[in-house]
Amino acid sequence: MDMSPNMPKSWKVSSKPHKFCPGCGHGMVLKVLGQCIDELNIQQDVIFGCDIGCSLLSWDFFNTDSIQTHHGRTNPVLTGIKRVRPDKICIAYMGDGGGYAIGSQHLVNAAVRNEKLTVIVVNNCNYGMTGGQMSPTTLPNMKTETCPFGRNVEITGNPTQGPEMVAAITGEGAYVARGTVANLRQLKKMIKSALENQINGNGFSFVEALSGCPTNWRTNASDTWDFIENKMTEYFKVGEIKTPQKAEVKQ
Ligand SMILES: Cc1ncc(C[n+]2csc(CCOP(=O)(O)OP(=O)(O)O)c2C)c(N)n1
Ligand code: SF4
């Protein structure tokens, strides 16, 4: 009987087991990303860029060209690479802090310019790597290290709706969606559509993945899934938001 683990062909086997905490969503997102790279047969052409944050633990995850950037700078670094090598498939991978806080201006400008990149933001409602501080996507009243009594939206504003913002400012041909690790089949379809959109040269491609951080949420398996499936989706609606076939923003 074959007992070897069922890993995507594009994964770098020597860097496994990976370094994410048990139950972390990052590994699940990277698994479906690996499956998409395999199915689209683009491993030789991919340039994978990861941010600072727990996403940096993916710097040696794939057997592809990879680059690890400063916090929030993955989008401009990958934009530069894509502009000099438009034949490459550039994937920018980051957390909600990297995408919507320190790197927000880069996301906005890449989206406005409709850069032909694929951006994946893993939304776990906090700054995971630095110990669970409040991030732009921390839910109203959610407790974190820096809002121990719960996020007060009167003071800190409402959580960032990343895909909705990107869909509103990016151009024709863009693909924008929000998936979740609670529905990996759907998330895989979205990431595949985003990569196909870049392969076809249509425009900016953006997928947010709702994900879990049990270490900082201090949740057991059942509470982690309840939070992802029920609490996060009260605020963050899962689905395709903009597709190149349908230029207008889906409601
Ligand atoms: C310029 C800069 N500012 C701050 C930090 C500290 N820092 C490291 S990771 C991080 C937050 C990461 O959170 P997020 O992007 O949401 O990713 P996660 O770890 O949750 O996957 C911060 C603020 C840094 N490394 N560099
Ligand atoms: S701290 Fe959170 S986001 Fe980071 S690896 Fe652990 S569970 Fe994942």
**Interatomic CA distance for residues 40 and 196, integer angstroms:** 8
Our mutation pick for probing the ligand 1 site, out of 130, 133, 228, 232, counting the most ligand atoms within 8 A of Cβ, is 130
Q: Report whether residue 49 contacts ligand 1, using a CB cutoff of 6 Å.
A: no
Is any ligand 1 atom within 6 A of the Cβ of residue 98? yes
How distant, in Å, are the alpha carbons of 21, 55, 137 from that of 226? 18, 23, 17
- Output the DSSP codes for 30-48: HHHHHHHHHHHT-GGGEEE
Q: Rounded CA gap, 55 and 61, in Å?
A: 10
> What pLDDT sits at residue 204?
98
Pairing state between β 126-127 and 133-134? antiparallel
Distance CA 94, CA 57 (A): 11
CA distance 248 to 174: 10
Give the mean pLDDT per block of 10 residues along the chain (251 residues).
81 95 97 98 98 97 98 98 98 98 98 98 98 98 98 98 98 97 98 98 98 98 98 98 74 48
For the chain, how big is the Rg over CA atoms in Å? 17
What whole-number distance in Å separates Cα of residue 30 and Cα of residue 118?
14
Biggest CA-to-CA distance, the chain? 59
- Distance (Å, rounded) from C-alpha 131 to C-alpha 145? 7
Write down the pTM of the prediction.
0.97
Domain ranges of the chain: 24-242
Q: Atom 5 (ligand 2): residue with closest C-alpha? A: 20
What's the CATH code, domain 24-242?
A: 3.40.50.970
Q: How far apart are CA 98 and CA 162, in angstroms?
A: 12
Positive/negative CA dihedral, 62, 67, 71, 73 = negative
Taking only the tens place, the pLDDT of each residue in 172-195 is 999 999 999 999 999 999 999 999
